[in-house]
Structure formats: structure tokens, C-alpha cells
Homo-oligomer: A and B are copies of this chain.
């Protein structure tokens, strides 16, 4: 059958806005967020209902056409980009963006998978509750993608990752079967927890169409501080002190190296004068929903202990909403600052907290040995052991060429170092198409064998996002 016959077959299943086959419109879906990969497709499908998703999957299975589920197209790993074969169609969930229900007593929200994270946050806030998932891409990423990549972000130290917030799911399997388990239950031990399979599977096991997420009481008070670090501060010990003394009211513990802060403030119209110590800085936030806790007093006590230990030079406590916002803006402008300077080669490293200092030391030497002129921008969610260890592309270099060169050389050294410390090459960005070789290199063989069995069990014909995450199981293969 020709492609146009295929397109018409799908058009029959969908309503008017359901099929995009204009090449210009298609082009906005076929290149990844970092513009490192452009795939090819002859149509983008935009189902409006779960039934339409099931119909699409059944037809694609019958025709032997691959499907690439896509949410906000914000993957850092090419997880939502089709391959170059032209034999995969994109399934965009963007028309399924509704809020289905908020239950303020059960503290849960039920949404379509295509709902934009920011809209879900806002809907929860309007009901006086917090959706504690927050990340840079929140204005464009979608819940289905957050589930597919087990998104982390800025509040993991307190609230966990997407996995920890997911109560219920609705998803379409590769044969069109709908898993309909939109529960609001905190506890439901009735056999294998199938929703866990979809978390982090990047569209390779099914197409998530709906989700129930946990909400938390709205934090009516916040205390936000900026800590300038002395040189050689043991970050993990500082974190342990803060966790202990702030009694789990700690919602944010973000580390920024001095270079990263300078990149951000250079990119800001009115940067605050917070600055960095020789060891960089920490953005610290406590939050509470109680009307009975003196959060500023608690923060001052915590900072006092940290100063006593000699780890901190100056520390500023935000005195107003504007001061708080300015501190946050520095943290959130770092990626933009990197971009303005000519971009960065990103490494989403995680190591056990006890090995963070060692990683920073070894990776620093590796950079110096590789090219003494290279600079790095290091920041991240140190509260979770997660560092974004980004190598800055020199201002005069070709960004994509430089990225490929570093990923072929220095990156491997970083990943080797992380692996030797019990860490990982992807803390929160996933595997997608870009990091499959890293999974094969660093992943435990037994775990990969189990992954491949699951892939084959869920998608025996390999029609769902083929080429991402993991190869199917082949009987007799070693892995």
C-alpha cells in the first residue's frame, strides 16, 4: 500500500484535526529538542480520545507501521523522534490535554496524558493543592512524557520523581488493549503494579493516555536562602545537616558552580547580586503548609549550624517574594545562559551522595587533561545525587560538531567515572535514542535481559517507538 492509502486509512479513524500530513507542519514534530536528530515521517496522528489511540494502534499493528508517541517533544535523549526510515508515524497526544477530575479530599488529580504540566500544576493550585512536579520544561512538556521519562526536577528531594506521584494510569497496549486503572489509591497491592512498567519506558511498551497524580497540601509558607559555599565544602555532609535540621521540610537543595551562576546572571536583564563563593552556591528552600511553624526561624537556625561548620561564607535569606523569585531565576536561567554562550554538551550524572565530591574531583581532572581550555557548567539537584555536568561549547566552535566530538571522547570518561562510583549516565533524562549504547555498555546484563523480555512481552511486533531504549528479546542472544 502507498503512504497516501495509509494516511487515508488513519484519517477514517480520526476526526478532522486528527491527521497532519503537510510536510511543513510535520517538520515541527520530527526534530528533537536539542536539534541533534531529525527523523522522517509521512504523517502525525493526533487522537482526541483513548478509543482513537486504541484504533490507531490496532490499525498500525495490522499494517506493520511503527508508532512514536510524542508529548511536548522536550526529550533530551531523542526519545520522541522517529528514525530516518520514514516508516514510523508520530502519535501526538497534544489534543488529549484535559483535566478529568480533582479530588481535594483524596488529594489527587486525574488528567489526560497530553495535559501540559504547567496546566496541571495550575489546576491543582486553583483547588488549593500542590502538584509537586516542577522542571524547566514545565510550560511545554506533557504528563505522558513526564511518565515516559520518569521526570524528576526541582522538588525530588522532598516529593520524589514522577513515579512517586503516580497513583493510576490508563494506557493502550500494542494490540489495542486498554489498561484502565485510573485509581486514586495510595495502597493497592493486587498483583504486579503495571503502571510502573510505563514509567521510564519512553513509549516503547504502550501509549499512556491518562494518569492520576498525587497532590500535596499547598505550602502556604516558604523560606528561601542562597548559600555561598567555601572551597571544598563536602556537599553530601552539608545536605545531611540541612535534611536533619530542617526536619524534612526541605524542598529544594540545588547546587550551582560559580561558572554556571555567571552564565545565568550574564543572561539576565536585572540579575540579583547574590554571587557565588569559591565552592559555588546552594539554593535552599523550606516549605510548609502549617500556620504554626516559624519557617524563617527554622531556616536561620539551619543556616547558623552550617555557618558554624565553616562550610558557608555568606548566606542570604529572601526577604520578599521578589527576592525569592530573583534567586530562583538565577537557577532557572543557567540552561539559557549556556545556550546564549554557544550551548553545552549535557551530562545527566547521578552518583551515591557519598561519592559526589569524588566525582567532581575526577571529572574536573578529566576535563583539564582533555583540553585545558574547556570550561564546564556544573549544577543540579544535589539533594538527589544528581549533577548536570555540562561541558561548554567554545564560543567559536561548531556546536553540533563539538557535541559529537566530546560525546565520542570526554563524555565516556565521565560515564566511566560515574559507573566506577556506582552511579549512572542518566539520572532523569532517560535513554531515548541517544543513550541506548550507554545502557548496553553500563547496564547490568541481567537487568537488560529482563528489560528485553518485557519489551517483547508487551510489544512482540516491535511497533512502539522501535529504536528507543532497548532492543527486543531474541531467543538465544546473550543479552
Please report A residues at the B interface, Cβ cutoff 8 Å.
103, 105-108, 149-150, 152, 156, 160-161, 163-164, 173, 177-181, 183-194, 196-197, 199-201, 205, 216-217, 236-237, 240, 243-249, 288-293, 297-298, 301-302, 350-355, 381, 384-386, 422-431, 435, 438-439, 442-451, 453-458, 469-470, 473
Chain B residue nearest to A205 (CB atoms) is: B192
Query: Do B191 and A240 touch (CB < 8 A)?
Result: no
User: In the complex, what distance in Å separates the CA atom of A428 from the CA atom of B431?
Assistant: 33
Contact of A188 among B194, B197, B424 (CB under 8 A): B424
Contact of A189 among B150, B297, B443 (CB under 8 A): B150
Given A173-B446, A217-B243, A298-B290, A439–B190 Cβ distance below 8 Å? yes
User: In the complex, what distance in Å separates the CA atom of A423 from the CA atom of B184?
Assistant: 8
Q: Which of chain B's residues have a CB closer than 8 A to the CB of A448?
A: 191
Q: Which of chain B's residues have a CB closer than 8 A to the CB of A425?
A: 190
Q: Which of chain B's residues have a CB closer than 8 A to the CB of A428?
A: 187, 189
Q: Which of chain B's residues have a CB closer than 8 A to the CB of A173?
A: 446, 449-450
Given A179-B447, A247-B288, A288-B247, A192–B454 Cβ distance below 8 Å? yes
Interface-central residue, A181, A297, A438, A453, by most chain B CB under 10 Å: A453
Chain B residue nearest to A290 (CB atoms) is: B247
Query: Do A194 and B451 touch (CB < 8 A)?
Result: yes
Q: Which of chain B's residues have a CB closer than 8 A to the CB of A438?
A: 190
Q: Which of chain B's residues have a CB closer than 8 A to the CB of A150?
A: 189, 193
Query: Do B199 and A193 touch (CB < 8 A)?
Result: yes
Query: Do B152 and A422 touch (CB < 8 A)?
Result: no
Given A177-B446, A444-B180, A446-B179, A427–B244 Cβ distance below 8 Å? no
Query: Do A179 and B431 touch (CB < 8 A)?
Result: no
With both chains docked as a complex, state the minimum distance between the C-beta of A192 and any C-beta of chain B, in angstroms: 5
A-B contact pairs, 30 of them (CB 8 A): A105-B353, A106-B385, A107-B240, A150-B193, A173-B450, A181-B444, A184-B354, A186-B386, A187-B350, A187-B381, A187-B386, A188-B427, A189-B429, A190-B438, A190-B442, A190-B443, A191-B443, A192-B197, A192-B454, A196-B196, A217-B248, A243-B289, A245-B291, A248-B248, A292-B297, A292-B301, A292-B302, A453-B457, A454-B454, A456-B457
Q: Which of chain B's residues have a CB closer than 8 A to the CB of A247?
A: 249, 288-290, 292-293
With both chains docked as a complex, state the minimum distance between the C-beta of A286 and any C-beta of chain B, in angstroms: 10
User: In the complex, what distance in Å separates the CA atom of A455 from the CA atom of B12?
Assistant: 36
Chain B residue nearest to A168 (CB atoms) is: B422
Chain B residue nearest to A220 (CB atoms) is: B244
Q: Which of chain B's residues have a CB closer than 8 A to the CB of A427?
A: 185, 187-189
With both chains docked as a complex, state the minimum distance between the C-beta of A170 and any C-beta of chain B, in angstroms: 9
Given A103-B352, A201-B192, A385–B187 Cβ distance below 8 Å? yes
Query: Do B191 and A350 touch (CB < 8 A)?
Result: no
Given A177-B449, A189-B428, A244-B290, A107–B183 Cβ distance below 8 Å? no
Q: Which of chain B's residues have a CB closer than 8 A to the CB of A240?
A: 105, 107, 217
Query: Do B244 and A289 touch (CB < 8 A)?
Result: yes
Query: Do A149 and B105 touch (CB < 8 A)?
Result: no
* Extra inter-chain contacts (15) besides given A190-B424, A190-B438, CB under 8 Å: A107-B240, A152-B187, A163-B196, A164-B164, A173-B446, A181-B444, A184-B353, A185-B352, A189-B427, A189-B429, A197-B197, A216-B248, A217-B248, A247-B249, A454-B457
Contact of A354 among B105, B429, B449 (CB under 8 A): B105
